[in-house]
Each structure stands twice: as C-alpha cells, then as structure tokens.
Structure 1
Amino acid sequence: MTHLLPPSHSTLDDAQGIAYGGIIAGFGLLILTSLGFVTGQTAGMAVLISYATGWSFGAVFFVINIPFYWLGWKRIGPAFVWKSLAAVSLLSLTTAVLPRYVHFDLLHPAAGAVLFGLITGSALLALFRHGSSLGGIGIVALYLQDKTGFRAGWTQMGFDVAVFALALTLRDLETVAWSFLGAVVMNMVIGINHRRDRYIAT
C-alpha cells in the first residue's frame, strides 16, 4: 500500500491564512467590545483588564501573551511562535485601527454573540491550520491536543469558565450570559472542526 505524505502549506498559504486569522479575529473583537461583552482565553483576560483600567486592548493583549511564547518555543517550536507573534500583532493592530472605520448603529446582543462566535471561531481555525494561534491559552490547548489528543476547543472552554467567573465582578449577569453564548459558539466551531485526523495539511 502506498502512503502519501500530507500536503504542505506554502509560505504564501501560511501568510494569507495568518493574515485572515489575525484580521478577522480583530473584527470579531470589535463586535464583542462594541456590546461591552467579554470572552474567554487570553483575549478575555485582556478585555477585562482593558475594561477595568481603560488601557488599550491591543497593547494589553500583546504583553499578556509574552510569557506564553516561551512555552510555545520549548514545546511546539520556533516556527509556531513566530507565526503566533505575527497573528497577535495583526490582531492588536486591527483592534486599534478598525474602530476608526467600522461601528454598529444597531446590533442585538444575541446576534452579536453568535456572529462573534462564528467569526472568531473561523479565524482561529485558519490560524490553527497554518501552525499558528493567538497565543496564550491557545498555545497550551494546541500542545495538549498534540500530546494527548484532547481537543483544543474543550481546553479553551474550561479556561473560559474561569474567566467568565471573574467577569461577573465587572459586568452584569445579562451581559456575561450573552458573552458566554458567544464563547460557546466559538468553541463549538473549533471543537467540531479542528481535527488533525481530518485536516492533514502541514
């Protein structure tokens, strides 16, 4: 029986995938913050810090990710870290620039939550499939999936629960509930679709 090697992504493939993931994730964060919502993962921690202090989300998010790059470098490899750094930088830049050009006059919380989940889930899938992430807990989740087979989406959802518990100290219950819906949709997109036994390009 002939065993075919999995197809490899070209540099251009990786570049467009990382650009899509970083920018679209930034658009998802614009939806999130326009409604005053919170989210999970490292981005959720950065959002909470931004709400509490007034500091720029992009700057907080970039700095919060720095310690996780060490784990990524040691456990996954330098290529993954450089790709993740590019994605995080694009997200931080997008969240700083995009509000000058995009705003929402009408956005129902339910629609915003679902759209955030779908958009951000697709962005994270693109990053994962091109050997990248948005840093932080995403690095830990991918490491665990590669080593144990435990789905990255489920690891992230567990972390989300802790972040949302903290969010209740800064936001009202209704806002946190809508936010949690968005996180569930996002993690369902990742948990169902990100499977190494089905998507084998490298």
Structure 2
Amino acid sequence: MKNFKSRRMLIFIGRIIMTVLGAFITAYGLESVLIPNQVSDGGITGVSIVGSKMFDIKLGYLIAVLNLPFIWLGYKQIGAKFSALSIVGIFSLAIFTSIMHHIPTIIEGDSLLVTIVGGVIIGTGMGLALRNGGALDGIDMFAVLLSRKLPFGTSDFILFLNIFVFILVSTVFGFEGAMLSAIAYFIASKVIHLIEEGLSGSKTFTIITKSPQPIIEEIREELGRTCIYNEVLGGYTDKAFTQVTCVINRLEEQKLKEIVSDKDPHAFIAIYDVSDVKKGEFIKQDLQRHQQ
C-alpha cells in the first residue's frame, strides 16, 4: 500500500511538471508570436489579452483573476485533482506571460506563418496540460457545465462562447486581427486534439462474422494481437453471429482488413479511433513467438 501511494504521488508530481511545462510553452507562443503581431487566443486568455490592451493591466494578473471562478467551477464539476492541476497551470501561465512580456518576437509580418506557428505552439502547451489532467483556460469548464444543463454538446458551446470572444478581440485588434485569432485558435484546437489523442493512432475493429475462429487465429499469427468475442443476434434477420473486437495501431489497419476479407468476405466491419490503450491482453505480442 505504501509503494502504491508513493507511485501515485510520483505520477501526480510528474503531471504537475508537465502542466507547468505546458504553461511555459503556451506563454512563449503568446508573447513571442501572437500578441506582438496583434493576434489573440480564444477563451478566457483571449478576454485577458483584450483587457490588458484596453486597460493597460498586466496580462498575467488578468489571466489569474478571470480564471478564478472557473477554477472553482472545475472543482465542483470535475474534482479536486483537476482543480489543483488547473490552478498550477493557470497561475504558471500568468507568471510566465509576465516574465516573457519583453522577449524578442520570433516571427513578424507574415500573417499566415504567425497564425500557424502561434497556433501550433499554444496548442502544444495547452494539449500537454489537458493530457496530464489540468487546464490552462476556464472556458472549457464553463462549456462542460452548460452542456450538462442544456441540450447541446460541449464543443458547440466552446464555439459559441468563442464567437463572442473574437468579436471582443476585433474591438482591439480590428477585424483582420480577430480573423487571424480565430484561425490560430482553430489550429491550436487541432494540435490539442492530436496531443490528447496521442500519435499512435490506435483503432478498434468490431467485426460481425459467421467465421470467427479463422479470423481470430490469423490476427494472432499475422499481427500478434489478441481479440475478444461474443455471440450476437441480427436485429433484422434474428440470425446468430459472432462479434469480434480487436485493438491495433494504424499501421496494421490495412493488413487486418485483408485478413477479414480473406477469411469472411461477407463480414461487417466497424472501425473506431482510440485515444489511448493501457496494458492488458490487447498489448501486441512478439510475432516470432507465435510463429515458432
């Protein structure tokens, strides 16, 4: 039990370090790329940037203060660990933006390059924080709460709320600045998704077939993967089938399709993206061991 608690503590410390690193990267993207080129971020950070420009208040102060209600919301809706990591991330972002306020701008003038590089940098930082259980911006927490109260998805509310943020941005950076900010935010959101989902590109195959054993054996021999299966009934025909489920990486996708097509050309296949895979029997086995 003591070793288990020590391991959990080390994992939590590691998450804190990665969240701080994410805040550092995000602050660098804001202060060295976006803000000097009159481009903002979305969310509470975007509102903070506008407030900083309009009222001549340090950006770090506004990021810390404006996010406080959302940190409490995160604590009530998601939990203490998420709230603690978000506090670390948001206050680290506030400190780093203050420290980096006068660092040299690494890109100037080229609007397309500014939005791409800035979006990638801040997306990387925010993605690191989210992947490790925290957040650097409170608007996502607010969107989660609204989605629970109203019949719309979280992503719908994030988009809706950011429309108002970019309208606000246009009052300081103009229409062009608001459009560039929206593009940078879009790029950042895609990078965040990539980091959260991981680079492995794991996929789940669900196969409905009348010939499960040849498929399962071939998957084991050719890919070194195991499967699970269970009996199912067709809703229209009421006939019995077997549902086979297997998790693979994206490089094995075409090979698995060939295996299924060869063993049962009439099999039904559904493919799903998988964000993460943790141990268990789905771990890939050594092919040489199976072929001996």
**TM-score for the superposition, normalised by structure 2:** 0.58
- Give 1:66's aligned amino acid: L
1:167, 1:74 → 2: CA distance? 30
1:186, 1:88 → 2: CA distance? 17
- How big is the shift at 1:187? 1.6
Mark the CA change 1:144 to 1:180 in structure 2 (over 3 Å): closer, same or farther. Answer: same
- How big is the shift at 1:157? 3.2
1:165, 1:105 → 2: CA distance? 25
Match of 1:52 among 54, 61, 72: 54
- How big is the shift at 1:151? 7.6
- Alpha carbons 1:40, 1:159 under 8 Å: kept: no
Which string of whole-angstrom CA distances, capped at 9 and with x for unpartnered residues, describes residues 52-106 of structure 1? 1110010011000111122111111111111111111111111111234433474
- How big is the shift at 1:145? 8.5
1:199, 1:154 → 2: CA distance? 24
- Give 1:23's aligned amino acid: F
Where do 1:9-48 residues align within 5 Å?
A: 10-30=11-31, 31-48=33-50
- How big is the shift at 1:118? 0.8
Match of 2:207 in 1: none
For structure 2, list consecutive stretches of 5 or more residues without a partner in the other structure.
Answer: 1-7, 198-272, 279-292
2:69, 2:14 → 1: CA distance? 28
- Alpha carbons 1:154, 1:191 under 8 Å: kept: no
For structure 1, list consecutive stretches of 5 or more residues without a partner in the other structure.
Answer: 1-6
Mark the CA change 1:130 to 1:192 in structure 2 (over 3 Å): closer, same or farther. Answer: closer
Task: Please state if 1:199 is matched with 2:276.
Answer: yes
**TM-score for the superposition, normalised by structure 1:** 0.82
Indicate the structure whose relative CO is greater, using CA pairs within 8 Å and at least 6 residues apart. Answer: 1
Task: Please state if 1:131 is matched with 2:133.
Answer: yes
1:97, 1:155 → 2: CA distance? 32
1:15, 1:122 → 2: CA distance? 16
Which string of whole-angstrom CA distances, capped at 9 and with x for unpartnered residues, describes residues 134-173 of structure 1? 14113234667999xx886664333221211222222222
Mark the CA change 1:91 to 1:100 in structure 2 (over 3 Å): closer, same or farther. Answer: same
1:105, 1:71 → 2: CA distance? 37
Match of 1:77 in 2: 79
Mark the CA change 1:9 to 1:130 in structure 2 (over 3 Å): closer, same or farther. Answer: farther
- Alpha carbons 1:76, 1:143 under 8 Å: kept: no
Match of 1:168 in 2: 170
- Alpha carbons 2:47, 2:168 under 8 Å: kept: no
- Alpha carbons 2:34, 2:114 under 8 Å: kept: yes
Match of 1:113 in 2: 115
- How big is the shift at 1:129? 1.1
Match of 1:4 in 2: none
1:18, 1:158 → 2: CA distance? 27
Which string of whole-angstrom CA distances, capped at 9 and with x for unpartnered residues, describes residues 101-143 of structure 1? 4334745222111111111111111111111001411323466
Further displaced range: 79-88 or 184-193: 184-193
- How big is the shift at 1:178? 1.7
Further displaced range: 50-59 or 178-187: 178-187
Identity %: 22
Higher helix share: 1
Further displaced range: 126-135 or 162-171: 162-171
1:11, 1:174 → 2: CA distance? 42
Match of 2:96 in 1: 94
Match of 2:67 in 1: 65
- Give 2:162's aligned amino acid: D
- Alpha carbons 2:124, 2:195 under 8 Å: kept: no
